[in-house]
Amino acid sequence: MTRLGVNTEVRDIEQEGRTMELRSDEMRRVSAQHPALLQTGGVSRTDLSKPLILVHSNAGHSHGGSFHLDSLVEQAMMGVREAGGTPFKYTTTDVCDGIAQGHDGMNYVLPSRDYIAGLIEIYVQSHRFDGAVLISSCDKALPAALIAAARLKDDIPVVVVPGGSSEVGSNYLMSGSIGLTSVKVDSGSLPLEELEFVQRQAIPCVGACQFMGTASTMQVMAEALGLAPPTSALTPANEYHILESSRQAGNLVMRLLKEGLKAGDILSEASLRNAVVIHQATGGSTNALLHLPAIAHAAGIEFDVSLFDAMGQEVPYLTNIHTAGEYSSRQFWHAGGVQRVVALLRESGLLDLGALTVTAETVGKNVEKVLDSDFFRAVEGCLGNYATVGGSRKLNREDVIRAPDDPKNTYGSVAVLKGNLAPVGSVFKYSACDPAMYEHTGRAVVFNCEEDCYRAITRQEIEPGSVVVVGYEGPRGSGMPELYYVTAATVGLEKYRKSIALVTDGRFSGATSGPVIGHVSPEAFSGGPIALVENEDLIQISLRRRSIDVVGIQGRRKEPVEMRNVLEQRRAAWQQPAPRYTAGALGLYCRLAACAMEGAYMS
């Protein structure tokens, strides 16, 4: 089978007289029950004599990114059978950040990543699978698949299949348009009927949300890491290309098994560095700064999140994708997607072209094959079916992915800020922020929950120039929910768009834009300095210096020594609050969660 110039031909693994030792052979030797238990589902002894491959997805009725995944599972299973294996379908659906917005359910969303990863690990280890195809679309399910692949690095080959992208709605409406419209309705500037119109029109089909949010970013990261096939990230979810990609994955996992390659041969320091470069070039979500460290930790690879900042000062920012730009994630794929970015950067020295991928070939070899195929011709031809946002002409590739000699900027998209407010670090996606707010000093307005903050902003009770601080929303404090509604309110109201900043130990949606700094570490619940901030403190944010500091009290600047003494006095008086969650899945996560800047994994 050939997919867009990438050869995936696999010879059947000989079953009679085979010399390959399989993990599943252990089960065959010691588990007398396994053929009897599986024959009830029509699995024959001939089936069980072949390599056993887990085909896991997050299919379900949970959201638009999961409805269609069963069709991809069918194709992946066909691919496994074609190549001489026996596939087994397992399903663990995922929850949706968008549906969890605005209520305490959001606190469970990040923890779900670790639980899904754990279940995949359990499936593979309990039933001694020889390989796995992991199919997922969205925010926590896809990083869960990557974390699971990292945990299984020494055991099996793993191929990840991204679930693709949705289409834009009427007049370039996207799922992020809903939150912004909701803010305007809540503030009284738009009627409810407008929100209902946007809700009906913004998400016309299945697939991940259409902007470079966390779902889209992690699809891109899967391909950049080499764990997903070339050209697979953000494939249109309702077109035949994604079915090809899924079938190819079934072929590929068998090829990797035959060649003795495991997930750990692909996931490496080089692949992680490549992912960071692609992230900075594409303006990816800040949540990647949670997920890549967690993936590295699971793989036992040293990874410092400051690599994002270091590479950000070298990597040109090439894409014009919403929310930091105009166009959609599907249009990014039509502009050539990840492979176009790799092709543009391959002479820069920024990428390790020798890193291995799930094709059993290198990043450099893959992009050569894509360049030799008709992939770019085909997808860019489809890009011409769209008009520019202004409607003046057909869309072309340079509207969506720019050349390195004509980038949106020459200094990446995400920064790590440190200072006396965030000694371990914090995250600022400056590519989605007006440059007027790159340097800002303002008086603190402190909240200890998102809901109170949202009310104050939508009622326009915050003074322009302020720095809004929301604490106790970190991993151990409350599961690290995303503060999307607060950020949508900040940029959705003209009064605040260029005048107030938001600082929190929580996280943000990939749909977030504006002057917002998250992942502040250490978090408030653990006694981090963000817990010591009081109303009227002066907070200084500087992208140029990569710093975030408390520089004064009661609106007056203090010398650094004075400020240090003030914070030490407050620390002496601070008392850790009682845990908000003590039982169940969330209670366990909050007890075990690592620092956000380390990946917020369960340690």
Residue range 281-295, pLDDT digits in tens: 999 999 999 999 999
Using DSSP, state whether 569 is helix, strand or coil.
Answer: helix
**What's the mean pLDDT when you consider all of the chain?**
94
Q: How many helices and strands (H and E) does the chain possess?
A: 24, 15
Q: Any residues with CB less than 8 A from the CB of 404 and at least 6 apart, and which?
A: 316, 318, 344, 345, 348
For the chain, first and last CA: distance in Å? 42
pLDDT for res 510: 67
Contact yes or no for 420/549 (Cβ under 8 A): yes
Q: Is the pLDDT of residue 81 over 50?
A: yes
Q: Any residues with CB less than 8 A from the CB of 333 and at least 6 apart, and which?
A: 165, 233, 234, 235, 236, 379
Band of pLDDT at residue 102, cut at 50, 70 and 90: confident
Q: Is the pLDDT of residue 561 over 50?
A: yes
Among this protein's residues, is 245 annotated catalytic? no
For residues 470, 472, 473 and 478, what is the CA-based torsion angle, rounded to 10 degrees? -160
pLDDT for res 490: 84
pLDDT for res 101: 87
- Which is more confidently placed, 238 or 510? 238
Q: Where in the chain is the domain with CATH 3.50.30.80?
A: 421-598
Q: Is the pLDDT of residue 523 over 90?
A: yes
pLDDT tens per residue, range 239-277: 999 999 999 999 999 999 999 999 999 999 999 999 999
- Which is more confidently placed, 313 or 121? 121
The CA distance from 27 to 48, in Å, is 10
Taking the CB of residue 428, how many other CB atoms lie within 10 A of it?
A: 26
Contact yes or no for 455/470 (Cβ under 8 A): no
DSSP tag of 171: G
Q: Where in the chain is the domain with CATH 3.40.50.2300?
A: 2-168+204-400
pLDDT tens per residue, range 144-188: 999 999 999 999 999 999 999 999 999 999 998 998 899 889 888
The CA distance from 337 to 282, in Å, is 10
Query: From 3.40.50.2300, 3.50.30.80, 3.30.565.10, 3.90.550.10, which CATH number describes the 421-598 domain?
Result: 3.50.30.80
In whole angstroms, how far apart are CA 50 and each of 396, 492, 566?
48, 56, 68
The catalytically annotated residue of 509, 521, 542, 547 is 509
The CA distance from 580 to 547, in Å, is 31
pLDDT tens per residue, range 469-503: 999 999 999 999 999 888 888 888 888 888 999 99
**467: Cα within 13 Å, side-chain hemisphere:** 32
Residue found by looking up tokens 């340690």 in the block = 603
Using DSSP, state whether 6 is helix, strand or coil.
Answer: strand
What six digits make up the tokens of 470? 């929301």
- The predicted model gives 185-211 an average pLDDT of 94
Q: Is the pLDDT of residue 513 over 90?
A: no
Band of pLDDT at residue 356, cut at 50, 70 and 90: very high
Most confident of 73-77, 178-182, 449-453, 511-515: 73-77
For residues 410, 348, 337 and 227, what is the CA-based torsion angle, rounded to 10 degrees? -120
Which of the residue ranges 101-105, 229-233, 351-355, 370-374 would you say has the lowest mean pLDDT?
101-105
Q: Which CATH superfamily is domain 2-168+204-400 in?
A: Response regulator (3.40.50.2300)
What six digits make up the tokens of 244? 């090809």
What is the pTM assigned to this prediction? Answer: 0.95
pLDDT tens per residue, range 323-353: 889 999 999 999 999 999 999 999 999 999 9
DSSP tag of 319: B
If residue 584 lies in a helix (H) or strand (E), which one and from where to where?
helix 584-592
